[in-house]
Amino acid sequence: MSMNNSPLVSVFILCFNHEKYIGKTIESVLGQTYGNIELVVVDNCSSDSSAEIISEYAAKDGRIKFFPMEYNTLVSYGSNFAISECRGEYICPLSGDDYFEPEKVAAQLDFMREKGLDLSFTWINVVDESDELIEEHPVTAWFNKPELLDGADILRSYITQENRTNAVTVMFRRTLVEDGTMFDNRLLQTQDYDMWIRLLLRTDRAAVMQRKLSCYRVMSNGANLSMGLTDAKKNRIDFEMLHVFRNFCFFPASLIGVLIGADVSEKDKLERLYCFFELKEIDYGRFAVLLEQFDRLGHDCAVNTEQFAFFFKKYAEFNFAYQSKCSDVDAVRKELVIRGEELRQAKAELDATSASLNAIYSTKFWKLYRKLGRLKKLMTGAL
């Protein structure tokens, strides 16, 4: 790829039944202040008019490459297909119901090139179904975290079961995925979380740009925040999170030491990692480490080693009948939506009250009342 001053940036959109929003999403990319952009759009077999809307845009603008899928390929496969069609030196994902601020690509690209980054995230604006900005929303506080600056900060949040990076803010170098490091097609609920952890295993040149450059849409019913998870989705999350946390077992001991704040060697890395998860009460992490230890020991392992003794002790202590964490997460997410809606309603009531008071203050009666009040004070003083 060319290393000139205006490298090609590929934005890919995965769309599924987003007829209400896909036009806004596409226009936010085509209207970027940065000029050298291509847009790859994959429609994942929508049952609404999304494909027809995308086709109309593609017919008018040669920067759009449109791929309607014959069947729903789910998120990971569809995203990987889109990435395979991207020719840009830098790649940005975008959902079919979210959108970019006009300067997003230009500002983030400058940020990455100035700092020599391979991967970056930004902050978000939260908007509702009508594109109205929600100034105060718990989701904003969750993703726009001032403490998150570099790759180590991001990984510290990941390893403590807090994914505070929003997928629609990402920009990464194409070289990061040229070896086949892509979204895992087996994952339906945690594919972003897993992908970013594996990319950060490949590079330490990552950072968060603390500027709101992507607009993340929050539905009033919380649908895109995984509200009201079905049992099937909860079960998938539980299973997938074991896979996600197993990624940390492959990080070098030196980086694990930085993340957990301890001296760690390659020999005792898994044991130290397990103790960290045990201290933080992160069952996904504990279980993931035990599974990795089980595989590494092998069926014909020696039974007089420190590694075997640790594994033998810890798996006997682990309660596999633990309650799913998804119910807790689901409850927190519901609470976030409720609190966000309460804040919006309170603001609307405050605005209405303010408008009513302004209307009263502008009436002739109120002005006369104020004059009489001042006259009364003067008369009282004279007496």
Task: Based on the fold, state whether residues 147 and 282 are members of the same structural domain.
Answer: no
Inside any domain, residue 2 = no
The last residue of one of the domains, among 176, 194, 227, is 227
Task: Based on the fold, state whether residues 237 and 222 are members of the same structural domain.
Answer: no
Task: Based on the fold, state whether residues 297 and 372 are members of the same structural domain.
Answer: no
Task: Based on the fold, state whether residues 282 and 375 are members of the same structural domain.
Answer: no
Quick check: 213 and 103 in contact, CB under 8 A? Answer: yes
Task: Based on the fold, state whether residues 102 and 165 are members of the same structural domain.
Answer: yes
Range of the domain at 336: 326-382
SS (H, E, C) 229-281: CCHHHHHHHHHHHHHHHHHHHHCCHHHHHHHHCCCCCCCCHHHHHHHHHHHHC
How far is the C-alpha of 216 from the C-alpha of 128, rounded, in Å? Answer: 9
Quick check: 38 and 87 in contact, CB under 8 A? Answer: yes
Inside any domain, residue 1 = no
Q: Which tokens belong to 320?
A: 């596999």
Helix (H) or strand (E) holding 42: strand 37-43
Torsion over CA: 183, 242, 96, 210 (sign): negative
DSSP 174: G
Task: Based on the fold, state whether residues 206 and 268 are members of the same structural domain.
Answer: no
Q: For residue 21, what is the domain's CATH number? A: 3.90.550.10
Task: Based on the fold, state whether residues 159 and 270 are members of the same structural domain.
Answer: no
Task: Based on the fold, state whether residues 346 and 302 are members of the same structural domain.
Answer: no
Crossing angle of helices 231-246 and 283-297, rounded to 10°: 60
Tens-level pLDDT at each residue, the chain (383 residues):
344 689 999 999 999 999 999 999 999 999 999 999 999 999 999 999 999 999 999 999 999 999 999 999 999 999 999 999 999 999 999 999 999 999 999 999 999 999 999 999 999 999 999 999 998 899 999 999 999 999 999 999 999 999 999 999 999 999 999 998 999 999 999 999 999 999 999 999 999 999 999 999 998 765 555 445 678 888 899 999 999 999 999 999 999 999 999 999 999 999 999 999 999 999 999 999 999 999 999 999 999 999 999 998 998 887 766 555 555 555 555 566 666 666 667 666 777 777 776 666 677 666 666 666 666 666 665 55
Domain count, the chain: 3
DSSP 150: B
The last residue of one of the domains, among 317, 335, 351, is 317
* Nearby residues of 262 by Cβ (< 8 Å), 6 or more positions away: 272, 276
The neighbouring-strand residues paired with 208 are 121
Task: Based on the fold, state whether residues 174 and 292 are members of the same structural domain.
Answer: no
The last residue of one of the domains, among 292, 317, 342, is 317
Task: Based on the fold, state whether residues 50 and 139 are members of the same structural domain.
Answer: yes
Inside any domain, residue 4 = no
Task: Based on the fold, state whether residues 368 and 301 are members of the same structural domain.
Answer: no
Give which of 36, 150, 174, 202 is closest to 93, Cα–Cα. Answer: 174
Task: Based on the fold, state whether residues 303 and 240 are members of the same structural domain.
Answer: yes
Helix (H) or strand (E) holding 106: helix 104-115
CA dihedral 14, 18, 20, 24 (to 10 degrees): 0
Q: What is the predicted pLDDT for the residue at 5?
A: 85
How far is the C-alpha of 19 from the C-alpha of 51, rounded, in Å? Answer: 8
Q: Which tokens belong to 40?
A: 């790859």
Give which of 179, 145, 146, 175 is closest to 163, Cα–Cα. Answer: 145
* Nearby residues of 180 by Cβ (< 8 Å), 6 or more positions away: none
